[in-house]
Amino acid sequence: MKILSIDQALLHTAFAIFDNDRYIKHFSWELKRKDNTDEVCYETFFREIEKAIKKEKPDIVICEKMYLGFNPAVYGKLQELVGIIRAICIKNKTPFEAIPTATYRSKLGIRNKKEAVTSFIALEFPELKIANTDESDAIALGFAYCIMRKEIK
């Protein structure tokens, strides 16, 4: 089973690919905000997600399920991104699942902090060059999903 895991954000998004429960690769993109409107950011996000799904042809796409944190405006934008990913998956007939951040991090036995995820990935995958914390999150999400799948079997 080929898994595309996504750590989504409006200006920077990371992806990780797992196939048959093995890490394959990761990548990310970033958009400079200063010259872009929300419309341009959403269009770019849509285009990059669709491109990744079409190129990688995953059996399932997973992303982080958002929680209402301290900033309702950020929560709203992130929820819109989950909806965009879901819509692209529907269009491409690709199964989709949003997993709560605390759930996937607890499967890995790590605290619910970005720094803990980065440290975990550096220890678990020391050979990888990680460009940003979003890439660590995407890899951790995909890795946790592989563990969760094994527990269900």
How high is the pLDDT of residue 149?
Answer: 83
pLDDT (tens, 9 = 90+) of the chain, 153 residues, equals: 999 999 998 888 999 999 999 999 999 999 876 767 888 888 999 999 999 999 999 999 999 997 766 777 777 888 899 999 999 999 999 999 999 988 999 999 997 777 899 999 999 999 999 999 999 999 999 999 999 988 765
How high is the pLDDT of residue 27?
Answer: 96
How high is the pLDDT of residue 48?
Answer: 94
What is d(CA 136, CA 64) in angstroms, rounded to the nearest whole number?
13
How high is the pLDDT of residue 153?
Answer: 56
3-state SS, 14-46, equals EEEEEECCEEEEEEEEECCHHHCCHHHHHHHHH
Single pTM value for the model: 0.92
How high is the pLDDT of residue 15?
Answer: 98
Q: In what order do the strands lie in the sheet with 2-7?
A: 22-30, 12-19, 2-7, 60-65, 96-100
| Residue bearing tokens 């990059």 | 48
How high is the pLDDT of residue 98?
Answer: 96
How high is the pLDDT of residue 129?
Answer: 95
